[in-house]
Amino acid sequence: MPCSINVCQNNGECFLLTNSTATPYCLCNKCFTGNRCEIENYSRNLWVYGISKENSKDYNPYDEAIVLCVLGIISFVANILSLQTFLFSKKIRLTNLGIYLILFSTTGLIISTIQAVFGFANVTYNFKEVSKVNRLIQCALIRLVVNSLNFCLYWLCLYIAVELTLIEYSWVNLYDSRRRSFISSILLYILLPLSNIMPILFGRKGHSYNSYDFCLLNFTSIGYTFYAIFHYINYIVSPLSFTTSCVLIFKHLIEHRLNLVNDELFISSLLLIASKHYDFFLPPLVYSLMSSPYFILDKLMNCLRADSMAVSRAKTVTQLLGHSALTFTFFFYVYLSKVYLTEFWQTSPFGRFLTCGVKRFRNSRKHQAFVVNTTVLNRILPLTKLGKLTIVYYTFPLEQIIKLLHFTSNLHTLKFGSISLNQNNIMLIEQSETFQYVSKINRIKNIDFRESCISECI
């Protein structure tokens, strides 16, 4: 029977046992245990275990795994394109800023690969229970590697912002020694994983109190304190430092502009500078906005508050939003920057491949158009009366020039950029009737090449 006075804590239900002493008995929520429900089963970082099956019935792990696979693949492509841009450009990789950009892309590439592999594995193996060894490997990768690398991305955003601030104020040179970037990066990639391991040393044992589940990360109160401090430092200090860098750079640029233009309003100068330097402040800003919702939700929730459908949906949305941040790496750090985008097209293997493909496609289209319109052009214009001809097209096929000269018997001056020449084609062209006819009637005395030409060309 229910107790007249509820002696149970943390929303536990009190009942009286039907015996001579009428001993109260507490039926605890799954988040707590103990005679009076005074002992937490889970530390606050495991608030997701407070969501009941009824409130998570809309959650489909297959859908989430598929979305993670897609986001992982997109992130992989975005980061591999960014990485090969920074690596193959000498003017980028020789700078301290280039070192940070290379590390950012490399870190994002590792995270997206792990994300896609685990998402694909969960879908393929139908979420079956894996062996203990495989489970420990997954935990090590997710809890230690991925979490640490995610925090490294935050600090690399800050490094990039600080480096740009130092360059803007001329406190450092763009091509200074890279010792500064190497030392700071090494410290970052050593200290962050070590600080991520610290809370694990204060793990709470299971219900039997004889073992600790490493994968669960169920902390003691001291362990959770370390965990919370570590998260607050990474999620708050880095964005605040970046904001400070933005303020300093905008202050310097606005002062410089107001010295040049006296009658311009402060707001007008601010908007103009923001529109021209969005490639500086936009990447860390968007990355922080996409990653912070889950951080805020994580700090507001506990095991008791989490048991609602709204919280279950918010958890899924905020987690996927955080995972999608890396899909914009190429857009933010290469596409928005005119300098880096130019380097992508000119130096990176994939950019040069695309450029070559586009040029070949355009050349073939122009070549086809000329072949079709040569005879038509002769009907519209009196080509026999032309005395001077300038061909603007950069690489014009020799066989097409021969066909054009067939209709311009009175031509005496010919100017063009260069000729697309093939040794085998020359033999065939010389044997053709058109070439024999042109060699007899042509009156060309002046030939002007924009580029040097070999004797066979002439």
Please state the domain extents for the chain. 1-41, 49-347, 359-449
What the block records as the tokens of 264 is 């311009």
pTM of the model: 0.71
For residue 203, the 8-state DSSP code is B
pLDDT tens track for 146-186 = 888 888 888 888 888 888 878 877 788 888 888 889 999 99
Give residue-wise pLDDT tens across range 56-111.
766 677 777 888 889 999 999 999 999 999 999 988 988 998 999 999 999 999 99
Encode pLDDT of 325-342 as tens digits: 889 889 988 988 888 899
Mean pLDDT rounded to a whole number for the chain: 78
Coil vs helix vs strand at 414: strand
**Residue 208, pLDDT score:** 42
Taken as a whole, the chain contains a residue count of 458
pLDDT reported for residue 103:
94
Residue 457, pLDDT above cutoff 50: no
* Closest-CA residue to 334 (of 325, 323, 342, 346): 342
Mean pLDDT of 444-451: 67
Q: Is 391 helix (H, G, I), strand (E, B) or coil?
A: strand
Residue-level pLDDT at 274:
78
Question: By the 8 A CB rule, do 100 and 159 touch?
Answer: yes
Query: Is the pLDDT reported for residue 276 higher than 70?
Result: yes
Task: Decide if domain 1-41 falls under CATH 3.30.70.20.
Answer: no
CATH topology assigned to domain 49-347: Rhopdopsin 7-helix transmembrane proteins (1.20.1070)
CB contact at 8 A, 3 and 11: no
Please, which residues have CB within 8 angstroms of residue 368's CB and are 6 or more apart in sequence?
none
219-259 pLDDT, tens digit each: 888 888 888 888 888 888 777 877 787 788 888 888 877 78
Contacts of 425 (CB under 8 A, 6+ apart): 398, 399
- Cα 329 from Cα 209, distance rounded (Å): 45
Sign, CA dihedral 249-251-255-257, equals positive
